[in-house]
Amino acid sequence: MEILAIAGSLRIQSSNAALVRAIAQLTSQNTTLKIYDGLGNLPPFSPDIDTEPPPQPVSHLRSKISNADAVLICTPEYAYGMPGVLKNALDWLVSSGSLYQKPVAALSASPSDRGGDRALTWLLQTLTALVATVPGQSLICNSIYKREISE
């Protein structure tokens, strides 16, 4: 099984990216977790440039998602929502249907006691609009800076 992991932050020291890397180390032998690191390369979404062919970074993202058996998205919380770069990436997936009925695990890690629950709510709403399959429950990791994520 191949899982594509997306950490929804561009921060170099992102706790969400660290969490994704830690999860990658815990996968079983028959599971591969590949980390997508191209959020910062995606142009701002515009229907005017959502054409065939799409911009190369968009085509790359869509291909990675289409080829994965499942997707893991880990989002921080910015101003009570998910970061703009993550929302931008998800907006680019609407017309392609790349996430249509694709299994997606949704996570949020935040230094706050609420653990990014508001960002996770926005993420889950967007995944619903994309008709992704979110099996089971989502995961919130609160007070993330108070814990050590070993890499």
Sign of the CA dihedral running 107, 111, 112, 113: positive
For residues 24-46, give the mean pLDDT. Answer: 94
Joined together, the tokens standing for residue 128 give: 């619903």
- For the chain, domains (ranges, CATH) are 2-146 (3.40.50.360)
**Per-residue model confidence (pLDDT) at position 93:** 98
Joined together, the tokens standing for residue 63 give: 């291909």
Nearest 5°: the CA angle 68, 73, 78 is 155
Sign of the CA dihedral running 48, 127, 88, 72: negative
Give, to the nearest 10 degrees, the angle between helix 84-92 and helix 56-67: 80
Joined together, the tokens standing for residue 106 give: 């949704």
For residues 22-32, give the mean pLDDT. Answer: 90
The tens digit of pLDDT for each residue in 50-108 reads 999 999 999 999 999 999 999 999 999 999 999 999 999 999 999 999 999 999 999 98
pLDDT band at 151 (very low <50, low <70, confident <90, very high): very low
Token match 């992991």: residue?
A: 5
**Per-residue model confidence (pLDDT) at position 114:** 74
Flag whether pLDDT at 2 surpasses 90.
yes
The tens digit of pLDDT for each residue in 101-149 reads 999 999 988 777 777 889 999 999 999 999 999 987 666 665 554 455 4
